[in-house]
Amino acid sequence: MSDIHIRKAGRAGRITLTRPNALNALSYDMCIAIEKAIDDWRDDPEVAVIVLDAEGEKAFCAGGDVAQLYQTGKDGDFDFARRFWADEYRLNNKLHGFPKPVISFMQGFTMGGGVGIGCHGSHRVVGESSKIAMPECGIGLVPDVGGTLLLAQAPGRMGEYLGLTGARMGAGDVLHAGFADYFIAQAEWPDLIAQLEENGDPFILDRAASTPPPSTLAELQEEVDRLFHAESLSEIDAALAMSDSGFAAETVKTLRRNSPLSMACTLEMLRRLRGPGIGMVPALEQEYRFTARSLEKGDFIEGVRAAIIDKDRSPNWQHADWDVPQADIDAMLAPLGDNELKLEENL
């Protein structure tokens, strides 16, 4: 497959995304190919570690390839998108629980589906150019691919801020928020990957890691906690309106561009994920309940139209008045009965 290069190299199973001109956007076929590879390598004694990287300077993976999902949904076919998300989430779950080290090198943009393959492994590396975000609320989705779990585990109320705004995190921010483990200068990455191929020893990353750049988000943590502590969209809006800080003013502008239904559901999802015993499977199941309904009942088709197809940046959201009834949130997140996500398939 020209979009991805999968091979064994020494002690490493290597997966390289090779769509740099498309910012290595993740297609359905790429998801299936990655899943097959890690299934093959799970019990392969020759493979000690899995290494995920990507060609090009601009992006590790800037997200899922949503244009096809949009077109099929626009044509009234909701099953393709549901199958795509179900299979993608199964891959995310396998990477999260893989019994061997999974090492990702994430340069440039890592967003949406890129987070799903890059940020659930055991050793997550960022560098000088890294920019990570979960911008789904801007296209009528919710943070998915297990992103809600990462957001729920972020310090304080940082998950609410990142999930609702889709703010881009630099390398220092990424480590502060818990989306990566190591800051390593990108010039060192080829040599590190060569060593991993030679000896399969992930501890070389501990020796190579250096101090990350300062985190802007860490400096904003106290303000974020204060402004995003409420559990409803309207209360957060009110808190932002009462603040006279420049950060609050910019945050309001960002939120006003995003889907109110998506943001309200994101808040509810993060609230449900906080607590003992909550993990990846409940996060993915909850995300799928929303995404499975998003084309038919949510804002996804309109969001993609405005952002990617027509590029007019003027979506006609449901709940444009920001009044999102709890009943509408509950309807998007209600169990799917026989159509619930089945992560045990193809294990």
Catalytic residues: 64, 113, 136, 144
3-state helix, strand and coil shares in percent for the chain, rounded to the nearest 5: 50, 10, 35
Of the candidates 107, 92, 120, the residue with the CA atom closest to the CA atom of residue 34: 92
DSSP bridge pairs for 13 = 8, 50
Beta-carbon contacts of residue 219 (< 8 Å; ≥ 6 apart): none
Across 113-238, the runs of DSSP E, i.e. the strands, are 123-126, 131-133, 182-183
The answer to whether 52 touches 103, Cβ cutoff 8 Å, is yes
Strands (DSSP E) found in 203-287: none
Q: Which two tokens stand for residue 84?
A: 């795509």
Residues 253/320, Cβ–Cβ less than 8 Å: no
Contact of 199 with 157, CB cutoff 8 Å: no
Asked if 117 and 26 touch (Cβ cutoff 8 Å), the reply is yes
Please give the angle made by the CA atoms of 64, 180 and 97, to the nearest 5 degrees: 70
- 54 pairs with which residues across the strands? 17
d(CA 183, CA 209) in angstroms, rounded, equals 6
